A = this chain, B = another copy of it.
């Protein structure tokens, strides 16, 4: 039984943003941040949160030293006449090349804290993912975003047989009410039944969306969006709009697929070789079913900038590249092309391993 206290949020949440692990870290390189992408994304987030902020001097909020970087200057006077109010965003990030090695080496997702290796792996995993969290918080703060790191473990989030069991949203709500931007992440957490597991960023997003009802949700990833097959294949088609019906069935609204008998495959993002995109779409569909539009878009592009600002809400502009997943009303009960889509998802699900856990 899930135990989530409905939080009291005095400011409406405009957007929940997922920074995909594949986008913010360098694939195949252990614990390396994709600094360029993170810097651009942070800047885009600032512009989306604080209208008109692009024309003014950025007032950084990371006043700490960084090895090999110039010292941070902080002039108190700069802050005097500035209005730092921003609309309410929540940031959730995946792990990418952080945490995966530690989690998969020890099997943290499978539980068993009585095993020394799992216990050590739990510690090692949390060190790795909180290292990334701190770096993301700092990158956002350097852009003047009042970011506050919130580890799901520390917030008291737990699971029961890998499903969300308890998720206290009170600190997320209090941080928002105080004008901060909470930054959560995929984390190793305690599990009532199996001892411990990995709570993925995508599950966290869905949970936050269900309780905090943002206006829209944006998933920033390392491909343009969802394709009908791996994007490396010739003739891969970007799915621009997917409708999710209340009975859980889906259909591709745009483009109209020329041949509905073609096996529709879900693209797997470059780094998420084991099912990441499938989890993402499944979670996105559950959010869309709540009536909240979900945008899946490539990080650090003009497309991500437009999605974050909310500019593409409503009718999707022709020149915007990405996938929007929306609530499409009542299901008609007839199998359509999304049957293949779902079969494809099932296939990926069954082949997935621990590595997808964080996404």
Contacts and interface: CB of A to CB of B under 8 A. Distances in A.
A195 B146 CA distance: 15
Nearest to A177: B190
Interface string A135-164: 001100100101111110111101000000
A180 interface: yes
Interface residues of A, number: 63
Nearest to A140: B123
A246 to B, nearest CB: 36
Q: In the assembly, how many copies of this chain are there?
A: 2
A119 B190 contact: no
B146 A120 contact: yes
A34 interface: no
Contact of A82 (B98, B102, B116, B127): B116
Contacts of A116: 59, 79-80, 82-84
Given A61-B120, A63-B101, A195-B178, A137 B148 contact: no
Contact of A147 (B80, B123, B144): B123
Contacts of A106: 76
A113 interface: yes
Contacts of A67: 67
A45 to B, nearest CB: 14
Contacts of A158: 174
Residue of A101, A141, A171 with most partner-chain B CB within 10 A: A171
A124 B79 contact: no
The 7 nearest A-B residue pairs measured at CB: A154-B154, A79-B117, A63-B124, A61-B123, A79-B116, A61-B120, A84-B116
24 contacts: A31-B65, A61-B123, A61-B124, A62-B123, A62-B124, A62-B127, A63-B124, A74-B124, A79-B117, A83-B116, A84-B116, A84-B119, A120-B146, A123-B148, A126-B148, A134-B134, A149-B154, A150-B154, A154-B154, A156-B156, A158-B174, A174-B190, A175-B190, A178-B195
